Structure 1
Amino acid sequence: MANLLIVDASSALCSVSLISAAGVQDLTERQPRRHAQRLLPMIDEVLQVAGVDKTALDGLAFARGPGSFTGIRIAVSVIQGIALGLNLPVYGFSTLQLLAQQALAETTVGQVVTVLDAYMGEVFWAVYERNDEQDGLLCRLVGAEQVSDPQRCVDGLQYMLQAHQIDPYNCVLAGNGVALLTPTDRLPALSVVDGIEPLSHYAVDQVANAWQRGEFAGFEDFPPVYLRDSVAWKKLDEQPSLLKR
C-alpha cells in the first residue's frame, strides 16, 4: 500500500492524515493563527506515530480551497516544499467537497449544501449530491462552487429548490457559513448538520482512489482555489465577519 500524506489548513482547524499499511493515522488541532508554526510539527508527529519515515512517502494531498487565504497558502507552501525536496507527486481536492463528504458520511441524505464563511461579508458555497458509482468519491458537485454575499446564496438555493434541483426532504446545510444565511425563513425545508468543519480524514477514500487511478501529478495541475479573482486581502484580525466569535 502507498504511503499518502493528506493535509488541510483551510479553516481554523489544522488537520493531517496519513494512509499507510498500518491504516489511517489522524491528527487535528484548532490553530486559527498558528498554521505556519504547527503544520510541519504535526506532519512529523503523524509520521512518527505511524512509524513511517518521510522518505518513504509516495504522494502528498492537500485541500486547495476555497477557504482561509492564509491557511491555503501555508498548506500549499508546506506540501510544495516536501514535494520538491522528495520529488513526490501531489493531488489537490476541494474544501467544500471535503465538508460535503463529512456531512454525507454522518447522514443518510442524498444532497448537501456546504457553506463556509468567506469573511468580507461573503460565503463560499456549493451543492453536492451523493455518488452511487462506487468510484471512491462519496459525492459529486452539482453546478459550480461559488462565492457571493449571503443573500445571493439564499436566492440561489431558493431558485434551485423551486427548480427541483434540490430535494428539500433529502438535503441538508453544513458548514460555519450557514449562520450567515439570513433570512433563514427563506430556506425552511433544509435542516442543518451542526459541527461540520473541514477534516483531512474525510478525504482519505478520495485520495486513495485518486492514487489508484493515477491522478496524482505536479503542482501546476492543482492550483489553489480562492474563487475571488482579485481582492485586497487583510490580516485575519482585520477581516469583518458576520459570525460572532
Structure 2
Amino acid sequence: MSWLAIDTTGVNCTVALRLPDGSEHVLSEPIGRGHAERLAPMVETLFKQAAITPNALTRIGVTAGPGSFAGTRVGVAFARGLALACQAQCIGLSNLAVLARQAGARPALAVLHDAKRDEVILQVWRDGQTTGPERRALNDLEARLIDLGGVDCLVTGTGARHVGAGFDDLGIENLDPAALLAMTGELSASDNPPTPFYARPPDAKLPGGVAPA
C-alpha cells in the first residue's frame, strides 16, 4: 500500500509519499502563495522519484485546517479529485491534531491556531481526552486554558504567542511530513472526511451581499 500526504494550509507546499517497503519521499517548498500552481507538479515529481503511478495509491491524507483559506481549498480539492481518480481513500487531517501528535504525550496540551482579529482556534488534550476545537477571543483565552487544561497546561501552535508567560510554549508551528504520513495510515477515512475547517467564514460575498454557502 502506498500513501500520499498533502499540506497546503501554510507557507509551505508539502507532499510526502510512503511506499509499501516503508521508504518515504518528501518534497516541501516554502512558497507562501501559489499552492494551486505548484501542487500538481510536485506530486508528479514525487511519483517519478518513487517510480510509481498514481493508481498505486491506496490512501491520500490532506490537511483540512485550520490554516490559509485559499491553501486549504486547494489541497482538499486536489486530494479529493486524485482519490476519486485512483479509487483511493481520502482522509482529512486536522492541523491541530497533527501538531498535538508532534508534541508527544503530555498531561495537558493546548494547540492554538492564530485566527487573526484577536481570536484563536483552540483545542486541548488532557489525560488522553480532547475537547472539540473552538474559537476564543484573546481577552478570555488564558482563563479558558486554565479551565480546560489547568495551570500547568503546555501550549503550542501559531496562536501560542498570544498566551502569557505563565504557560510554557513548546514552539511547534510547522507540520512534520512524517506525522502527516503516519496519521494518513492510522486514521479512519469514514471518521475523518476531507472537509475543510476554516478559522472563519470567507469575507467574500455574492452579488447582493449574500454570504456563500
TM-score bracket, shorter-length normalisation? 0.7 to 0.9
How far apart are 1:204 and its partner, in Å? Answer: 2.3
User: What residue is the counterpart of 2:189 in the other structure?
Assistant: 216
- Give the residue type in structure 1 aligned to 2:98: L
C-alpha RMSD of the superposition: 2.5
When residues 111 and 43 of structure 1 are mapped into structure 2, their CA distance, relative to the original with a 3 A threshold, is farther
How far apart are 1:167 and its partner, in Å? Answer: 6.2
Q: Distance in 2 between matches of 1:31 and 1:61?
A: 21
Q: Distance in 1 between matches of 2:51 and 2:127?
A: 35
**2:63 matches 1:56:** no
1:127-152 deviations in Å (ceiling 9; x for gaps): 12475xxxxxxxx5x21101222223
Q: Distance in 1 between matches of 2:151 and 2:135?
A: 22
**2:155 matches 1:173:** yes
How far apart are 1:126 and its partner, in Å? Answer: 0.9
Q: TM-score, normalised by structure 1?
A: 0.73
Q: Among residues 115, 119, 124, which one is paired with 1:122 in the alignment? A: 119
Q: Is contact 1:8–1:199 with CA below 8 Å preserved after alignment?
A: no
User: What residue is the counterpart of 2:203 in the other structure?
Assistant: 232
**2:208 matches 1:201:** no
Q: Is contact 2:83–2:89 with CA below 8 Å preserved after alignment?
A: yes
How far apart are 1:195 and its partner, in Å? Answer: 4.5
The answer for unaligned runs of 5 or more in structure 2 is: 206-213
Q: Is contact 1:13–1:198 with CA below 8 Å preserved after alignment?
A: no
Identity fraction in percent: 24
Q: Is contact 1:111–1:127 with CA below 8 Å preserved after alignment?
A: yes
Q: Distance in 1 between matches of 2:127 and 2:32?
A: 30
User: What residue is the counterpart of 1:155 in the other structure?
Assistant: 143
User: What residue is the counterpart of 2:210 in the other structure?
Assistant: none
Q: TM-score, normalised by structure 2?
A: 0.83
Q: Distance in 1 between matches of 2:126 and 2:51?
A: 37
- Give the residue type in structure 2 aligned to 1:155: A
Q: Is contact 2:111–2:157 with CA below 8 Å preserved after alignment?
A: yes
- Give the residue type in structure 2 aligned to 1:197: N
When residues 191 and 14 of structure 1 are mapped into structure 2, their CA distance, relative to the original with a 3 A threshold, is same
**Number of equivalenced pairs:** 204
1:175-209 deviations in Å (ceiling 9; x for gaps): 1211123xx14xx1x21112431233212222212
- Give the residue type in structure 2 aligned to 1:39: L
When residues 194 and 218 of structure 1 are mapped into structure 2, their CA distance, relative to the original with a 3 A threshold, is closer
